[in-house]
Structure 1
Amino acid sequence: MTGFFMPRSALVQRALRWPVALWLPIAVVALALMGASDALAHGVTQGDKGYIQEISGVKLLPFIYLGAKHMMTGYDHILFLFGVIFFLYRLKDIGLYVSLFAIGHSTTMILGVYFNVGINAFLIDAIIGFSVVYKALDNLGALRRWFGVQPDTRVATLVFGLFHGFGLATKILDYEISRDGLVPNLLAFNVGVELGQLLALALILIGMSYWRRTAGFARHAYTANVAMMCAGFVLVGMQLAGYVVFHA
């Protein structure tokens, strides 16, 4: 049978032939929907939160672990990173953009927590979701077609990195972290975030390098970025809905 009414087995076989990288935006949507209640609540895991509230002083290893865990499970951060390096082929360029992103989120994360400056968790996560939408549109060339200009991608990566950092700061403030040993613990958390980011980046690059060698990369690149854009809209919609529900 051909056309739109294909047997389920044929659909599954076709889906299994999709490149690994094409599944990332789809997986993000699935994870976001499965964890919708947690995402709307914006709570850190109760075990981690209870542990952090009970300790004081310099605790480097626990905060390194928490930073790495947050980045590796932060599908919005990973999806933005996926979009940033999507069309970057040289390690020099990848290093530049990842460094700009790291500088941005490290700066606002540390300053935000140190000076106790947080942004509403729903709103900042909605902005982070929008950063995914923006990057997908940028990769598709839509911004140039719509507005006749191409924003500086390096500046955009840095600016959105600042917003991602405020998202990290908001999560840390949710831990009600002790002021005793705050600066070393914050630096340790940031080290963990960077380690998690490097691990996530390595996995993405492995998948991308394999995908780029296939004949279908150019054909599926458009679809992957559309899927990424849709995932970003899902994240934005979830956070805005959460803001309305919890502030009604």
Structure 2
Amino acid sequence: MFISTAGSASMSNRVKRRLFLFVSIIGLLLMGISQEVFAHAVAQGDKGYIQEISGVHLVSFIYLGAKHMVTGYDHILFLLGVIFFLYRMQHIAIYVSVFAFGHSTTMLLGVYFNIGINSYIIDAIIGLSVVYKALDNLGAYQRWFGWQPNTLMATLIFGFCHGFGLSSKIIEYDISPDGLLPNLLAFNVGVEIGQLLALSAILIMMGFWRRTGSFLRHAYTANVAMMCAGFVLIGYQLTGFFVA
């Protein structure tokens, strides 16, 4: 019995150290990320490429869309929050599809009809989406208000916000109208490919973690860390808004 207890305690300490290391690495990465990335931007090299080309470039825009999603930590954090307590693939597919629909709709319509929103404001809202979902996972709304918001509707609404975050930056890059619609559709296909890649990685890691006894013990800590990351994003964007 003593050996079992000691082994369990040792495993718990290892999990805590790994979780602390993971959060620390994420924090360092966030502090090291440039202001343009925090503004939901496309990388400088990609920005120059978008501004210079004209005509239909399907493969290039598919690549750019996939790259954006895979490196889009705000999207990934929100997706992590959405699927954190979803165990059935059917439920995961529904929520991810709703998010993808919202994200794709506002990205395409926003760029095509030149509907832009201040990058700092929309990215602060995206940070808010991470905070919202983390609090939802913590059961905060039931404790505070005695009711549970419609999580599927919230995922759709925040999906719209995430799409406007990218469309606002693309508009600023003055993309050529020649081949605009095919390029946007290709970009969106790339975004969905990137989302599937990011989601696959998240599901693999979550699958391993859920098999251990530490998942339920540390789920609270993980969502608190996610909420803190969301607040960091909000604070950074609002600071940028008032300073800029």
Identify the residue that residue 185 of structure 1 maps to in structure 2: 183
Please give the secondary structure, in 2, of the residue aligned with 1:17: helix
Partner Cα separation in structure 1 for residue 83 and residue 17 of structure 2: 16
Q: 1:75-114 to 2 correspondence within 5 Å? A: 75-114=73-112
Give the one of 152, 168, 171 matched to 1:170: 168
Q: 1:203-222 to 2 correspondence within 5 Å? A: 203-222=201-220
Cα deviation code 1:193-237 (max 9, x no counterpart): 000000000000000000000011110000000000000000000
Matched residue type, 1:130:
L
Call closer, same or farther: CA 1:177–1:19 in 2, change over 3 Å: farther
Give the one of 195, 215, 228 matched to 2:226: 228
Call closer, same or farther: CA 1:217–1:112 in 2, change over 3 Å: same
Q: 1:89-168 to 2 correspondence within 5 Å? A: 89-168=87-166
Please give the secondary structure, in 1, of the residue aligned with 2:183: helix
Identify the residue that residue 70 of structure 1 maps to in structure 2: 68
Q: Normalising by the residue count of structure 1, what TM-score does the alignment of the two structures yield?
A: 0.89
Call closer, same or farther: CA 1:145–1:23 in 2, change over 3 Å: farther
Call closer, same or farther: CA 1:182–1:192 in 2, change over 3 Å: same
Partner Cα separation in structure 2 for residue 82 and residue 148 of structure 1: 25
Q: Greater shift after overlay, 35-44 or 121-130? A: 35-44
Alignment coverage as a number of residue pairs: 234
Matched residue type, 2:33:
G
Partner Cα separation in structure 1 for residue 74 and residue 21 of structure 2: 15
Identify the residue that residue 3 of structure 1 maps to in structure 2: none
Partner Cα separation in structure 2 for residue 20 and residue 85 of structure 1: 21
Partner Cα separation in structure 1 for residue 77 and residue 17 of structure 2: 16
Identify the residue that residue 6 of structure 2 maps to in structure 1: none
Matched residue type, 1:170:
S
Cα root mean square deviation, aligned? 2.0
C-alpha displacement at 1:40, in angstroms? 5.4
C-alpha displacement at 1:39, in angstroms? 4.0
Matched residue type, 1:211:
W
C-alpha displacement at 1:71, in angstroms? 0.6
Gap regions ≥5 residues in structure 1: 1-12
Partner Cα separation in structure 2 for residue 29 and residue 184 of structure 1: 38
The percent identity for this pair of structures is 67
Please give the secondary structure, in 2, of the residue aligned with 1:97: helix
Partner Cα separation in structure 1 for residue 234 and residue 172 of structure 2: 21
2:119, 2:165 within 8 Å by CA — same for their partners in 1?
yes
Identify the residue that residue 201 of structure 1 maps to in structure 2: 199
Gap regions ≥5 residues in structure 2: 1-10
Call closer, same or farther: CA 1:38–1:66 in 2, change over 3 Å: same
Partner Cα separation in structure 2 for residue 235 and residue 26 of structure 1: 16
C-alpha displacement at 1:49, in angstroms? 1.3
Partner Cα separation in structure 1 for residue 21 and residue 107 of structure 2: 30
Call closer, same or farther: CA 1:19–1:99 in 2, change over 3 Å: farther
C-alpha displacement at 1:82, in angstroms? 0.3
Identify the residue that residue 4 of structure 2 maps to in structure 1: none
Q: Greater shift after overlay, 118-127 or 37-46? A: 37-46
1:21, 1:207 within 8 Å by CA — same for their partners in 2?
no
C-alpha displacement at 1:53, in angstroms? 1.3
Matched residue type, 1:17:
V
1:25, 1:228 within 8 Å by CA — same for their partners in 2?
no
Partner Cα separation in structure 2 for residue 190 and residue 68 of structure 1: 8
Please give the secondary structure, in 2, of the residue aligned with 1:189: helix
Identify the residue that residue 242 of structure 1 maps to in structure 2: 240
Partner Cα separation in structure 2 for residue 25 and residue 161 of structure 1: 25
Q: Greater shift after overlay, 124-133 or 174-183? A: 174-183
Call closer, same or farther: CA 1:170–1:16 in 2, change over 3 Å: farther
Call closer, same or farther: CA 1:155–1:228 in 2, change over 3 Å: same
